Structure formats: C-alpha cells, structure tokens
Amino acid sequence: MTVTATDPGLHPAELELEREGSALRRLARDPAKVWGYVGIPLIVIVSWIALYIWVTGLELDLIEARILTGEMIREAFVQHIRLSLIATVFIVAIAVPLGMLLTRPYAKPVTPIFIGLANIGQAIPSIGVIFFLALPFLLGIGAQTAIVAIIIYCILPVLRNTMVGIDQVDSALIESARGMGMTKAAVLLQIELPLAVPVVLAGVRTALILAVGTMTLATFINAGGLGDIINQGIVQNRDSILITGAVLTAGLALLIDWLASIAEEIFRPKGL
C-alpha cells in the first residue's frame, strides 16, 4: 500500500528554521522581545530599590513614620494584589464562558445587549461605579464591593476578545471538523477555544492592568490596597508617602503586565 513519491516539500533545513520548538527558542530569534522580558522587571526593581534608599535616607516626621512602615506597606501591597487577582479570576470565569455562549449562532440576537452592557460598565468613570455600588442600599462599603465594581469595569476586554478570538477562527476549520463528525461542543472546545487563546489572553492582560490601576480607588470605600497609601499622601500632604504609593502601584502594574506577557507566550497553542 505504499506510494513512492518525490516530496515536493521544503528543504529539511528550511523546515528546521520554521519549527517552533519551544517558547525559549521563539524568543531567541527576537532580540527586541528578549529586551522586553529582561528590561521591564529590571526597571521596576531598580526603581523600587531607589525608592527604598531615598525613603530610608529621609528624616521622617511623625505622620510619615506612622505610615511608611514595612508592615503597613506590605499589607497594602498584598491586599492590592489579592483584590486585583480575585476580580480578574471572576472576570475570566464570567467573560470567557459568556463570550463562548454569545458566539453561538442562536445567541446572535442578544449579543448586542451584552456587549452594550459591558460597554456601559467601562464607559462610566470607574470611581462612579465604585461609589454607586457602595451606596448603603446596594452593596455597602468593603472589599466585596470593590471587587464587584472592578469586575463590572474591567469585564469588557475579556468578553470582547473571547468573542473576537472565536469569531476569527477560519470557517474552513469548522467545516472540516463538522464534516468529520465532530459535535458542535467538540468543535467549540477542541478547535475554536484553543485557537482563540492568544486573543483571549491579550484581553485578560488588558483587564489585569486595568484592575491593578483602578483598584487604587478601593481605598475610598475602605477596601484597602495601595490606594490607602496614595490617599494618605494626599490627605496628609506628605509627598514622600504619595510618591511611595505611586511608585509601588506603577511598578506593580508593570510587573503584572510582564507576567501576563510571559503567560501569553507559554499558553499560546503550539503550531500557530
């Protein structure tokens, strides 16, 4: 049953070049990317060390000394990360399945409604969402309210990217999959979703950054986070406190973005 045939394919060496063995090898071919991967954390760490040296060299007054303690800062930092991550986990858990559902043909009529709602969530100023939800007869103040507000505010990028990611899958792939007898669910889970992963992850990355930035407002409804420190800096009129809060927040956002970019590289399906 063997057919002898001259292979019209690529030269083996050419194939070797095209092979995408590992994420590492992919990186090695793109020096600009390598710089991004090493440079960002380097900048963040250097700026944090500079901040530390500067603050420890200052003569702190009573108010500064009360707030700029290791314990206080650590607590705010950890709380900030915790709130942002919890919000993002909920965003992914809600937006990805919802996005999958909304790309099904039968959901086409209601799709604009959901996209519209998500748009409204993002269009209203984030501080408005937070204060509105914190009204006593709604959710009241506290961490849960901050998380819900951030979910509403940041869900759009993940929802939209999930839908775009699934919609951009080549219809020929779906036809050939259906033609071989794959069920609709199997096509969604084995073909459409894996191929949408890079776009979905890009949306998650955007949502994470938005969440980390916006979470600084959580301080106004008593939910903690790095906003506490920034706010104290403003209220107490102490630049050292304000700068510490701002540099920590900015660095955290950069680091999270950096981690997300690595995750994108790792979870991107091979062969794309």
Partner 1 sequence: MTDFMIRLEDLTKRYPGQLAVDNVSMDIPEGEIVVFVGPSGCGKTTTMKMINRLIEPTSGRIFLEGEDVTDINADQLRRRIGYVIQQIGLFPHQTIAANIGTVPRMLRWDKKRITERVDELLEMVGMDASMHRGRYPKELSGGQRQRIGVARAMAADPAVMLMDEPFGAIDPITRERLQNEFLRLQAEIKKTICFVTHDIDEAIKMGDRVAIFGNDHKIQQFDTPEMILSHPANDFVEDFLGSGAALKRLHLRRVREVTLTPWPTGDVGVGRHALRSALAANDDHSFLLLLDDNQHPVRWVSDRDLDRTEGSLTQAGLPVTAIVEPHATLHDALDEMITSNVGCAVVVDSVGAYQGVVDIDAVMTAINALRLETRERFAVGSWHGVPEAVGDGGPT
| Residues that bind partner 1 in the complex, under the rule CB under 8 A | 1-5, 7-10, 15, 18-20, 170, 172-173, 175-183, 186, 191, 194-195, 269-272
* Closest distance to partner 1 from the beta carbon of 195 (Å): 6
Minimum CB separation of residue 259 from partner 1 in Å reads 23
**Range 58-63, long-range pairs (CB < 8 A, 24+ positions):** 58/240, 60/240, 61/238, 63/236, 63/238, 63/241
Give whichever of 39 and 269 is closer to partner 1, judged by the CB atom.
269
Least distance from C-beta 91 to partner 1, angstroms?
A: 25
| Separation CA 255–CA 213 (nearest Å) | 12
Contact 217, 134 (CB under 8 A): no
User: From the CB of 90, what's the least distance to partner 1, in Å?
Assistant: 28
The helix/strand/coil state of 59 is: coil
* Cβ nearer to partner 1, comparing 192 with 228: 192
Tell me whether residue 186 or residue 235 sits nearer to partner 1 (CB atom). Answer: 186
Neighbours of 240 (CB within 10 A): 18
Quote the CA–CA distance of 73 and 79 in Å, as a whole number: 10
Greatest pairwise CA separation for the chain in angstroms:
88
Between residues 18 and 59, which has the closer beta carbon with respect to partner 1? 18
Nearer to partner 1, 70 or 105 (CB): 105
d(CA 59, CA 73): 18
Distance set, CA 183 to CA 51, 97, 169, 189, 197 (Å): 57, 18, 17, 10, 20
Q: Please, which residue, 30 or 175, has the CB nearer to partner 1?
A: 175
Contact by Cβ (8 Å): 208, 84: yes
Structure tokens at 169: 């899958």
* Beta carbon of residue 161, minimum distance to partner 1 (angstroms, whole number): 18
Query: In whole angstroms, what is the distance from residue 130 CA to residue 59 CA?
Result: 36
The residue among 31 and 109 lying less far from partner 1, judged by its C-beta, is 109
In the complex, what is the shortest distance from the CB of residue 171 to partner 1, in angstroms, rounded to a whole number? 9
Report helix angle 70-102 to 193-214, nearest 10.
140
Task: In angstroms, give the least distance from the CB of 178 to partner 1.
Answer: 6
